[in-house]
Amino acid sequence: MITRTLVKQLAALPDGPVSVAGWVETVRDQKKVQFVILRDESGAVQLVNPATRELEEGADAAASARLALTEQISELGHGTFVRVTGELKHDERVKLGGLEVKIGSLEVVAEALETPIAADSSLDKRMDWRFLDLRHPKQNLIFRIQTTFLHALRTYWVEHDFVEIQTPKLMASASESRAELFELGYFEGKAYLAQSPQFFKQMAQPAGLGRVFEVGPAFRADPSFTSRHATEFTSIDAEMSWIDSHEDVMKMHEELLVAGFTAVREKHGAEIEELFGLEITVPTTPFPRIPLAEAKQIVAEHGYVVPRADADMDPEGERRISEYVKETYGHEFVFLTDYASSIRPFYHMRHEGDSNLTNSYDLIYNGVEISTGAQREHRIDVLVEQAKEKGLDPEELEFYLDFFRYGVPPHGGFGMGLARVLMLMLHEHSIRETTYLFRGPTRLLP
């Protein structure tokens, strides 16, 4: 390992020799003194060199070395990766962190071409150069936040006896709407990319795993160019046995989010305030719950009629109901519940006594849907009927229907888009910002 101190660790060290490494952000080359801002993955530090511009008569080796160093610094370009040894000095007058490193020696580890992107480059251009874009502290922080968030979710699940599973992403059939299915050649036949782990996380129930979770890729052949859709995204999924209704799923879901948001606030609250200019609020439980039909009525009373009465909330409706919930309950989250069976998949359980409604919900956060959850239909005869009613061929679903022929406990779960949660948490405008490498209809590179 190359020995170096991370920039964020310098503050805790006493004055004295240190070695740091990182990218040159800027060089201020003044006549008598040179300043270099060096950035590594943990932060930025000011390096300083008292410039030696020419050698006087009888100059010693140290003076020649300083002249060479001065010339070397003058030539440093933005983005060059360097390693520096020098003397750390704490000095309150230094704006950047109250410390600086006086350069003793500097080694250019890797040269860099002139950067093709600037702070005001378009999102598309920044995505073309994603590795340079991610080097910026704000973009970089997003993936540290994501790590903390997912770690907190995993901790919650492990503490609550959930088992982690990895379901296959190559499938023989669709698991969600056929309209959004990627088909690919598979030896002599064909296969499909998994749209969700739906069937296989449900399989864990007759398999006796009880409670499971997965964080993994999902694929949707969705040709839209909205700020919330990708053709490949990371889906956070959970499924649990022995529930009474979707209410049990919502309870777990909100506790899970509280755990995630608490961890993010504790670990990154100050950085988020500094770089994103916002405070992370840990949601209170229970989150408000509003039946979908009532939510549509509420937004209608507030001047917006969701275009199709028999359809899901549209994005404007989601934004409006969120606004209402924020004003009325001071909450950023809302569960919209009891969706009509006509707009839900066949595997959602329907209301006892009213088969037009399902035991299901969508979770809306700051105006956008981040998740769908439901109690599943576990009675084989009802399930087959519901599949037929949706025009599905039970023969194609035999492998799935078999799960229900061998004793399945009542169960339910949810799927939640990771990039959407982060986008809304950080008030970003597109999941392109909160996806490591975005995939859309016209983007397969880098």
Interactions with ligand AMO, residue window 149-188 (CB under 6 A): 176
Kindly tell me which of 29 and 255 has the beta carbon lying closer to ligand AMO: 255
Q: Is 66 annotated as a binding residue?
A: no
Give the pair of three-digit tokens for residue 376: 């599943």
What are the two backbone dihedrals, phi and then psi, of residue 71, each rounded to the nearest 5 degrees? -65, -40
Q: Is 369 annotated as a binding residue?
A: yes
Encoded one letter per residue, x for contact with ligand AMO by CB under 6 A and - for no contact, window 193-232 reads: ---x-x---------------------x-x------xx--
CB of 381 to ligand AMO, least distance (A): 22
Q: Is 220 annotated as a binding residue?
A: yes
Encoded one letter per residue, x for contact with ligand AMO by CB under 6 A and - for no contact, window 351-370 reads: ------------------xx
CB of 347 to ligand AMO, least distance (A): 8
Distance CA 370, CA 237 (A): 12
Residue 117 amino acid letter: I
Q: Is 372 annotated as a binding residue?
A: yes
For residues 346 and 387, the answer to whether their CB atoms sit within 8 Å is yes
CB of 374 to ligand AMO, least distance (A): 5
CB of 417 to ligand AMO, least distance (A): 3
Give the pair of three-digit tokens for residue 204: 């864990």
Interactions with ligand AMO, residue window 237-256 (CB under 6 A): 237
CB of 289 to ligand AMO, least distance (A): 17
CB of 88 to ligand AMO, least distance (A): 45
Kindly tell me which of 101 and 240 has the beta carbon lying closer to ligand AMO: 240
For residues 345 and 390, the answer to whether their CB atoms sit within 8 Å is yes
Kindly tell me which of 107 and 396 has the beta carbon lying closer to ligand AMO: 396
Candidates 254-262, 267-275, 316-324, 413-421: pick the segment binding ligand AMO (CB under 6 A): 413-421
Handedness of CA 160, 163, 168, 172 (dihedral sign): negative
CB of 116 to ligand AMO, least distance (A): 28
Kindly tell me which of 104 and 216 has the beta carbon lying closer to ligand AMO: 216
State which of residues 165, 414, 422, 423 lies at the interface with ligand AMO (CB under 6 A).
414
| Residue 373 binds ligand AMO, judged by CB under 6 A | yes
Q: Is 273 annotated as a binding residue?
A: no
State which of residues 233, 276, 403, 404 lies at the interface with ligand AMO (CB under 6 A).
233
CB of 422 to ligand AMO, least distance (A): 11
Q: Is 376 annotated as a binding residue?
A: yes
Q: Is 412 annotated as a binding residue?
A: no
SS3 sequence of the chain: CCCCCCHHHHCCCCCEEEEEEEEEEEEEECCCEEEEEEEECCEEEEEEEECCCCCCCCCCHHHHHHHHHHHHHHCCCCCCEEEEEEEEEECCCCCCCCEEEEEEEEEEEECCCCCCCCCCCCHHHHHHCHHHHCCCHHHHHHHHHHHHHHHHHHHHHHHCCCEECCCCCEECCCCCCHHHCCEEEECCEEEEECCCCHHHHHHCCCCCCCEEEEEEEEECCCCCCCCCCCCEEEEEEEEEECCCCHHHHHHHHHHHHHHHHHHHHHHHHHHHHHHHCCCCCCCCCCCCEEEHHHHHHHHHHCCCCCCCCCCCCCHHHHHHHHHHHHHHHCCCEEEEECCEHHHCCCCECEECCEEEEECEEEEEECCEEEEEEEEECCCHHHHHHHHHHCCCCCCCCHHHHHHCCCCCCCEEEEEEEHHHHHHHHCCCCCCCCCCCCCCECCECCC
State which of residues 70, 167, 205, 372 lies at the interface with ligand AMO (CB under 6 A).
372
State which of residues 34, 241, 358, 371 lies at the interface with ligand AMO (CB under 6 A).
371
Kindly tell me which of 99 and 295 has the beta carbon lying closer to ligand AMO: 295
Give the pair of three-digit tokens for residue 166: 């990895």
For residues 20 and 101, the answer to whether their CB atoms sit within 8 Å is yes
Q: Is 259 annotated as a binding residue?
A: no
Minimal CB distance residue for ligand AMO: 417
CB of 362 to ligand AMO, least distance (A): 7
CB of 33 to ligand AMO, least distance (A): 50
Kindly tell me which of 47 and 364 has the beta carbon lying closer to ligand AMO: 364
Q: How far apart are the first and last CA of the chain?
A: 29
Annotated binding site: 176, 220, 369, 372, 376, 417-420
Annotated binding site for L-aspartate: 176, 220, 372, 376
Annotated binding site for ATP: 369, 417-420
Q: Which residues bind ligand AMO (CB under 6 A)?
A: 176, 196, 198, 220, 222, 229-230, 233, 235, 237, 369-374, 413-417, 420
